A and B are shown apart, each in its own frame.
Chain A
Amino acid sequence: MVRPYVVISGRTKPSSKLDLDLLAIITATWRAPAEPWTLNPEHFSVLRICASPVSLADLASDLHLPLGVVKILVTDLSERDLVTVRAPRTIRWQDDLPILREVLNDLREL
């Protein structure tokens, strides 16, 4: 068992201001990492899991690591173009009605 914050060298905040939502979708870019020895095993675990698009919440749950630690790992990888981050859909406007109706119909059929 490795203490979570050892994984990220004692950092508690990502180095950049990448504001990661719980439902942001993380996807590996499949680029070869430059200087791979500067990444730790948890970075590679993230890359393995987000080989298919995955939400930040699912990623943290799969890794059994606290959300804050996973945010830092994802930010590291994003800065090196090893993953892409897409902000989630937020429901606010009339433009969102089609998706709300889809959700409603799908829930009824569930």
Chain B
Amino acid sequence: MTFGNSERGAGPGGVRLPVTIKILIAGGFGAGKTTLVGSVSEIRPLRTEEVLSSASARVDPLDGVEAKTTTTVAMDFGRIALRDDLLLYLFGTPGQDRFWFMWDELAYGALGAVVLADTRRLADSFPAVDYFERRGLPFVVGVNCFDGAQRYEPDQIRLALDLDKDVPIVLCDARRRSSGKDVLIALVEHTIRIVSGEPGTPVGAK
């Protein structure tokens, strides 16, 4: 097997290999993760299957099934071809709590994450905020402004989510491409600030 380095480079037969970059889209159920991925990129279905942890085994009774128990997780991802050799991937994180174990694989090496929040159910964003804070992965909060939901000022949301003052909060409409793009731009800007501000500090590298 051949492992190259992670720079752009030639593959077999001199083929130019693309650089792939990953952004996570997290948030509670119904916060608009799939909508956001779909508005800025071509959405693709992906199935994975995971060995059930003991915590999730209590949720999915599998009496009589042999020890090797797996469960199927359907996820969506999107791809934005920034250039022929620079591909940006957006991965929606599985919403259900019992799929937490998948987040580590998704978060590994990511540029950062967007936590989509619905102001009617702000508490649903706590687990994602906690996760990215613990992991040290740069993230922004995108407040998806649903029709009919009461509007809040970013400062009120910062207070409610107990966010660090440096974490950007972007009001957005996940259905609109330009709005989704603005959230991604805010994240990349935030990551650049973090990476350039702290020499030698690994980002999201636990």
A residues near B (Cβ < 8 Å) are: 12, 18, 21-23, 25, 27-30, 52-53, 55, 57-58, 60-61, 64-68, 78-79, 81, 84-94, 96-97, 99-104, 106-108, 110
CB–CB B181/A110 < 8 A: yes
Task: Tell me whether A88 and B189 are in contact in the complex, defined as CB-CB below 8 angstroms, given that A21-B108, A22-B105 are known contacts.
Answer: no
Question: With an 8 A cutoff between CB atoms, is B123 at the interface?
Answer: no
Query: Can you show 26 pairs from A to B with CB atoms below 8 A apart?
Result: A23-B21, A23-B89, A25-B17, A27-B17, A53-B18, A60-B46, A61-B46, A78-B1, A84-B11, A84-B12, A86-B6, A87-B6, A88-B19, A88-B21, A89-B6, A90-B6, A91-B110, A94-B200, A97-B196, A99-B19, A99-B86, A100-B111, A102-B82, A102-B86, A107-B184, A110-B181
Kindly list chain A residues whose C-beta atoms are within 8 Å of the C-beta of B12.
27-30, 84
Bound: A95/B68 CA distance, A = 42
Least CB separation from B3: chain A residue: A87
A-B contact count (CB 8 A): 164
Mark each residue of chain B from 178 to 192: 1 if its CB lies under 8 Å from any CB of chain A, else 0. Answer: 000100110011011
Q: Which residues of B contact A81 (CB under 8 A)?
A: 1
A-side binding surface: helix, strand, loop or mixed? mixed
A1 to B49, CA, bound (A): 18
Q: Contact check: which of A18, A86, A104 meets B188 at CB < 8 Å?
A: A104
Q: A27-B11, A68-B49, A92-B202 are contacts. A103–B188 as well, Cβ < 8 Å? A: yes
B53 interface hit (Cβ, 8 Å): no
In the complex, B83 has a CB within 8 A of chain A? yes
A92-B205, A96-B195 are known; give 12 further A-B pairs, CB within 8 A. A22-B89, A27-B11, A53-B16, A58-B79, A84-B4, A85-B1, A88-B20, A89-B20, A94-B195, A99-B19, A104-B185, A110-B80
A27-B11, A55-B87, A108-B185 in contact; A21/B109 too (CB < 8 A)?
A: yes
CA A66 to CA B195, docked complex, whole Å: 35
What's the nearest-Cβ distance from chain A to residue B134, in Å? Answer: 17
- Give every chain B residue within 8 A of A30 (Cβ-Cβ): 12-13
Answer whether A100 and B191 are a contact pair too, CB < 8 Å, given A88-B20, A107-B185: yes
Residues B82 and A106 in contact, CB atoms below 8 Å apart: yes
Within the complex, the shortest CB–CB distance from B34 to chain A, in Å, comes to 15
Chain B residues near A104: list those with CB within 8 A. 185, 188-189, 192
Please give the distance in Å from A108's CB to the nearest CB on chain B. Answer: 6
Residues of A within 8 A of B3 (CB): 85-87
Is there contact, CB below 8 Å, between B1 and A23?
Answer: no
Instruction: Decide if B2 is an interface residue (CB 8 Å cutoff).
Output: yes
